[in-house]
Amino acid sequence: MLNYKQYFAKKLSSLLTGFEAHDIMAWMEYPANPDQGDLSLPCFRLSKTLKKSPQDIAEELKAVLEDEHIDELEAVSGYLNIFLKKSMFAESLIRHISQAGDHYGSQSLGLGKTVVIDYSSPNIAKPFHVGHLRSTVIGNALYNIHAFLGYNCVGINHLGDWGTQFGKLIVAYHLWGSKEAVNQRAIDELLDLYVKFHEEAEKDPTLEDQARSWFTRMEQGDQEALALWQWFVEISLTEFQKIYKLLGVQFDLYQGESFYNDKMEPVIQELKEKQLLEEDEGASLVRLDAFGMAPALMLKKDGSSLYHTRDLSAAVYRADKYEFEKLLYVTDYAQNLHFQQLFKVVELMGYAWSSKLEHVAFGRVSIEGGSLSTRKGNVIRLESVLEQSIQKIRDVIEARNPGLANKAQVAEQVGIGAVIFNDLSANRIKDIDFSWEEALNFEGETGPYVQYTYARACSVLKKAQLPDGDVVQIPEVDGARLQDKEAMAVVKMLYLFTERVEQAMVKLEPSIVSRYLIDLAQAFNRFYHTCYILVEETQVRETRLALVQCVRITLRNGLKLIGLQAPHEI
């Protein structure tokens, strides 16, 4: 499919001296109002160099630009507005999408390049909460989007499976726990022990010392400590995997913090050799005052390692192993400082790849206005959120469409889709509140709305007796039959998919895809309500059906990218 921006930018740059096609392309816009053309070039930026008014430039371009794709040109208020030959545009796009099918929107721009994505990364022996859900969902979407654009992706779950919290847990387990209780209540028991530890430690600070010494024993390879640790890890992993299964998320590697236990020593040595490590009251740290940051702590007084030590070793290890184009860390913005420090230390070590590290920060999540904290124990567990969501959708289906086949499966797809979509519905840096009413609303800007629209497109095709499984070849496409403005709005929206996916990759912002899906679904629903699709006249009907099919393909591709299923019927 022709990239119109690129195509016209090239043509325009050949008509203008001193401007690169690349820049012109970046300036071009798709006007929101169809009366202002399908594409437009604001001429303001050219004005200074060309020493002419934007309007004069637009007029001059209008006089000389000629092309078979152009129906009409206008020079208005400093803009050159391009109106495409609509039928040619619609026809070629519909053919392209129908042919490309599952690949529509994909590109090969990432071929030969590797992106490593560190996401989800919950902490062992603590429950998987809605904050980790956001990391999982954003990381998974970024993985899919990069893979769709040809990148080789490596998805790593950097489990929090090492650190002083295990010392705390061991102390708590010895004092108040039992083998039976842990076996029976699994992660719930671990959480209760963890919470109890913090309550009791407020009264008796020696508990903290005991916890530290258990952790030191772990670091020194103590058998008893390690056996307990291993047991806690297994219990937590089993729990996490249930959630990943529900979400349909997979990782290439589970490489938690403990993986770096034997890889930290050489990195500490290297820091010493590069004279970056300083002693401070027995602890070792890298000073970052010159960069306006607190020091990055590398070793505690007792010689034990920290979150930073393990992250630094992980970065060095990954750089050796993958020669990545980008290494992305998906966590909430509370870790901004941690990653700024980490990236600075890597830079100070002299590694050129420090510029390839990026913190994909996101905002905090609350549920119905309530905040979440592990220590105090008022945690809302993700599994229960997902289960409630599925149940609520099941009730809706029961009320609206009780005869639906495989209700349970559809309720799961939509219930989970609602939660995932909610996490991706706004710019990632924004804090979000999860509200049942909003997230599950079939008419709102939600996952269920997009999925429902997808099912509607499938149902239209089914009514027309076109099989709704694979892409079907619809014989007659005649762009001239798509002149209604609602139909053209759908065509234009379909066209934008490729560019939006690319933007989502560049900005590391999956919400661009979810926003797009809402826009496409809304455009399609306006078309559906205004233009009767199954009309008598064969050519109009088939052309409209072809358009519906393209909507179906594009919605499905987009849903897949952000990790949602596309049920044929709801």
Q: Among 144, 331, 446, 557, which residue sits at the site for ligand ARG (rule: CB under 6 A)?
A: 331
92 burial type by CB count under 10 A (0-12 exposed, 13-18 middle, 19+ buried):
middle
Beta carbon of residue 157, minimum distance to ligand ARG (angstroms, whole number): 9
Beta carbon of residue 376, minimum distance to ligand ARG (angstroms, whole number): 16
- From residue 286 to residue 315, the character string flagging contacts with ligand ARG as x (rule: CB under 6 A) and all else as - is -------------------------x--x-
Query: How far are the Cα atoms of 3, 15, 28, 80, 498 from residue 10, in angstroms, in the given order?
Result: 11, 9, 12, 15, 19
Residue placing its CB nearer to ligand ARG in the complex, 315 or 457: 315
Beta carbon of residue 25, minimum distance to ligand ARG (angstroms, whole number): 36
Q: Among 79, 162, 240, 329, which residue sits at the site for ligand ARG (rule: CB under 6 A)?
A: 329
Residue placing its CB nearer to ligand ARG in the complex, 121 or 309: 121
Give dist(CA 238, CA 227) in Å, integer.
17
* 158 is a contact residue toward ligand ARG (CB under 6 A): yes
* 445 is a contact residue toward ligand ARG (CB under 6 A): no
Beta carbon of residue 158, minimum distance to ligand ARG (angstroms, whole number): 4
Q: Please answer whether residues 151 and 114 qualify as being in contact, where contact means their C-beta atoms are separated by less than 8 angstroms.
A: yes
Residue placing its CB nearer to ligand ARG in the complex, 129 or 544: 129
Residues between 116 and 145 with contacts to ligand ARG, criterion CB under 6 A = 118, 121-123
Other beta carbons within 10 angstroms of residue 33's beta carbon come to 6
Q: Please answer whether residues 446 and 453 qualify as being in contact, where contact means their C-beta atoms are separated by less than 8 angstroms.
A: no
* 160 is a contact residue toward ligand ARG (CB under 6 A): yes
Beta carbon of residue 312, minimum distance to ligand ARG (angstroms, whole number): 10
Beta carbon of residue 259, minimum distance to ligand ARG (angstroms, whole number): 11
Contacts of 140 (CB under 8 A, 6+ apart): 119, 155, 247, 249, 563
Q: How many residues bind to ligand ARG according to rule CB under 6 A?
A: 10
Beta carbon of residue 252, minimum distance to ligand ARG (angstroms, whole number): 15
Residue placing its CB nearer to ligand ARG in the complex, 128 or 197: 128
- Cα 3 from chain centre: 25
Beta strands in 310-429 (DSSP E): 326-332, 357-362, 365-367
Q: Please answer whether residues 417 and 564 qualify as being in contact, where contact means their C-beta atoms are separated by less than 8 angstroms.
A: yes
Contacts of 27 (CB under 8 A, 6+ apart): 41, 42, 45
Beta carbon of residue 292, minimum distance to ligand ARG (angstroms, whole number): 22
Residue placing its CB nearer to ligand ARG in the complex, 231 or 317: 317
Give dist(CA 131, CA 445) in Å, integer.
22
Residue placing its CB nearer to ligand ARG in the complex, 102 or 234: 234
- Binding part of the chain for ligand ARG, among 114-122, 288-296, 393-401, 506-514 by CB under 6 A, reads 114-122
Give dist(CA 445, CA 515) in Å, integer.
8
At residue 164's C-alpha, the angle toward residues 163 and 168, to 5°, is: 135
- Cα 495 from chain centre: 22
Residue placing its CB nearer to ligand ARG in the complex, 315 or 461: 315
Beta carbon of residue 442, minimum distance to ligand ARG (angstroms, whole number): 33
Q: Please answer whether residues 377 and 172 qualify as being in contact, where contact means their C-beta atoms are separated by less than 8 angstroms.
A: no
Beta carbon of residue 310, minimum distance to ligand ARG (angstroms, whole number): 8
- Binding part of the chain for ligand ARG, among 115-123, 267-275, 281-289, 504-512 by CB under 6 A, reads 115-123
Residue placing its CB nearer to ligand ARG in the complex, 53 or 238: 238
3-state secondary structure of 353: helix
Give dist(CA 312, CA 299) in Å, integer.
12
Q: Please answer whether residues 158 and 118 qualify as being in contact, where contact means their C-beta atoms are separated by less than 8 angstroms.
A: yes
Residue placing its CB nearer to ligand ARG in the complex, 89 or 353: 353
- Cα 547 from chain centre: 28
* 151 is a contact residue toward ligand ARG (CB under 6 A): no
Beta carbon of residue 299, minimum distance to ligand ARG (angstroms, whole number): 18
Other beta carbons within 10 angstroms of residue 211's beta carbon come to 21
SS3 percent helix, strand, coil of the chain, rounded to 5, is: 60, 10, 30
Beta carbon of residue 423, minimum distance to ligand ARG (angstroms, whole number): 16
* 258 is a contact residue toward ligand ARG (CB under 6 A): no
Residue placing its CB nearer to ligand ARG in the complex, 308 or 492: 308
Cβ-closest position to ligand ARG: 160
Other beta carbons within 10 angstroms of residue 269's beta carbon come to 11
Which positions touch ligand ARG (CB under 6 A)? Answer: 118, 121-123, 158, 160, 311, 314, 329, 331
